[in-house]
Structure 1
Amino acid sequence: MITSTEKQKIQETDAQRIIRNKREILDSIYVTYLSVKLVPLHKLIIQFVFSLLLTLLYTNPMLAELLNLKNVNDPPLSLKILIPSLYTAPQIALFCFLFKKNLLMFFRKFNMKQIKLSVWAGIFSLGIAMGINALLEYGFSYTAADNTNTISFVPSDSFILIVQLLGEEILFFSTFFFILKLFTYAKKPQYGISICISSFLSCILFGLAHLSTYDFHIIQCVFIIGFPCFIKILLLLKTRNLWCTYSAHLVHDLLGVLIVAYGTLVSQQYL
């Protein structure tokens, strides 16, 4: 049975749909702001600091030496499963412990409409990243870092993405919520400005967290990896569901890996 609200959405014009989407996003900005305001500051600080420190440890080249992975070309599957799990599992455990009363604020039921929206958001964010990369490379004589780990991607590595990206999402949004929380103490709240600044700083920090992975190319990390994350903020405001942002992130990275792998395969055939 189609409800009256669904009938109105079907019958509305493109202009009406745009106005409705803008109104929904503005409402989501207000709801997100108030929701974060209700979360105790110390919980956000603990999650943010823990996720950041764990990310610094996880991306530190010394970890590979400690685990004797520096000269290992094909680590066993058990090790591939263990390493990303050690990064993500503690963050999930702490997140669930700190926000067990607020989990519905972050995670909701994942429906088919949200799945489609997440896929399109992932594709769109990848398109933005590729566009920024092309602009930097051809407009400013920029050369991206060679990522041999991506080029040598094998199917078993998909588990690393599935697990690791969930940890990355917790890092990204713990940063976003922590910064947004600081704005809630203002006497005259500016909802839109607060969201924009929190998003901007979160994207920069998220990009910088990839420095060791991309040979410390700051421009690549900030502009190509960090800035497209704005799409995830918009997706969060639209759905208020971190499962959507995680799925969009997964689609983004998997498509990027497939494109790079295909380009590498084609170039090797012409050598």
Structure 2
Amino acid sequence: MAEGRDFPFYNGQPVEISGRGWLIVLLGVALGFAALVAVPLNSFPLNFTPPILFVAIPLGALAMVAGPHWTALFQRYGIKQFGQSLGFGVLTIVVSGAAGYLLGLLMPMAANPAVTSLEGVGPAELALFLARTFIQLIGEELTTVLPLLAVLWLCVSRFGLSKGTGLIIAVVVSTLWFSALHLPTYDWNILQCLGIIGTARVVLTLSYLVTRNLWVSAGAHIINDWTLFLGAYAIGHAPIGT
């Protein structure tokens, strides 16, 4: 568990964030995502700019309203925390894989363009791809956890709901938000995004809720996605007949 640590910012700890402050944070999240998908930089090294902005803009917005306390999102990351990332990463693979299998029995699934883009790339290109996704997946955790904390603050501080009820609402809202962001990636397949991406998101969010450490959920996310990427790369580059 998180050794007694509470979630940051929703209850004035370690610093109070006002409604206006949360709007700034959410605007930063939206602008960061816009930079990721709308900045047309495709060649190295400029193609690292969108994922870096995806991380830097939300964190910059949080630092504007929380000052040096923005670091409360992150805790120590060592062997124990890596083990937590590994466990939740494997759980995400298993749960989302099961969801994907069941949905695949009912309807066709859209392919992940990031996976198909690995066809024909060499080891150096793969390494650069993984480096970019390493940064991007940290941004995806910020894009989920910051709205989750904003909704939790709204439920507890403004609506007077209990922390438990607020957490349930915050998880539902942030999961729907995360799933919706993936709709263009998966040909606007709502069931696929809710059933597979949403299921994976719940497990990844659980890793943050348990540890209160965004490094752990980011690590789990990276393990999940890199397993998919490396598996697809290995299959695509396997010798014919093996």
TM-score normalized by the length of structure 2: 0.83
Within the candidate set 104, 123, 136, 1:164 is matched to 136
> Is contact 2:54-2:136 (8 Å) kept?
yes
In the alignment, does 2:174 pair up with 1:202?
yes
- Structure index of larger Rg: 1
Deviation, structure 1 residue 198? 0.6
Amino acid at match of 2:29: S
Deviation, structure 1 residue 245? 1.1
Within the candidate set 112, 117, 137, 2:79 is matched to 112
In the alignment, does 2:103 pair up with 1:125?
no
CA distance in 2, matches of 1:136, 1:105: 38
CA distance in 2, matches of 1:99, 1:132: 38
Deviation, structure 1 residue 177? 0.8
Residue number in structure 2 paired with 1:36: 10
Residue number in structure 2 paired with 1:59: 37
Equivalent residues, number: 231
> Is contact 1:59-1:212 (8 Å) kept?
no
Distance 1:137-1:186 versus aligned 2 partners, 3 A rule: same
Cα deviation, 1:122-166, whole Å, max 9, x if unaligned, reads 11112111111101011x2x2111234312332210121111112
Distance 1:175-1:155 versus aligned 2 partners, 3 A rule: same
How do residues 1-271 of structure 1 correspond to structure 2 at under 5 angstroms? Answer: 31-32=6-7, 35-38=9-12, 39-40=16-17, 41-56=19-34, 58-60=36-38, 63-64=39-40, 75-138=42-105, 140=106, 142-153=107-118, 154-185=126-157, 189-265=161-237, 269=240
Distance 1:186-1:92 versus aligned 2 partners, 3 A rule: closer
Amino acid at match of 1:133: G
CA distance in 2, matches of 1:265, 1:123: 24
Helix, strand or coil at the partner of 1:211: coil
Distance 1:175-1:222 versus aligned 2 partners, 3 A rule: same
Distance 1:167-1:148 versus aligned 2 partners, 3 A rule: closer
> Is contact 2:35-2:50 (8 Å) kept?
no
Q: Show structure 2 runs of 5+ residues with no match.
A: 119-125
Deviation, structure 1 residue 57? 5.1
Helix, strand or coil at the partner of 1:189: coil
CA distance in 1, matches of 2:160, 2:62: 30
> Is contact 1:199-1:230 (8 Å) kept?
yes
CA distance in 2, matches of 1:209, 1:193: 25
CA distance in 2, matches of 1:87, 1:234: 22
> Is contact 1:211-1:221 (8 Å) kept?
yes
CA distance in 2, matches of 1:57, 1:84: 8
CA distance in 1, matches of 2:151, 2:171: 9
CA distance in 1, matches of 2:199, 2:175: 6
> Is contact 2:152-2:163 (8 Å) kept?
no
CA distance in 2, matches of 1:173, 1:59: 19
Distance 1:196-1:42 versus aligned 2 partners, 3 A rule: same
Q: Quick one: percent identity of the two aligned structures? A: 22
Amino acid at match of 1:145: A
Deviation, structure 1 residue 263? 4.0
> Is contact 1:137-1:143 (8 Å) kept?
yes
Cα deviation, 1:158-194, whole Å, max 9, x if unaligned, reads 1211111122111111110111111113675322221
> Is contact 1:151-1:264 (8 Å) kept?
no
CA RMSD of aligned residues (A): 2.6
Q: Show structure 1 runs of 5+ residues with no match.
A: 1-20, 68-74
Helix, strand or coil at the partner of 1:77: coil
Deviation, structure 1 residue 35? 4.4
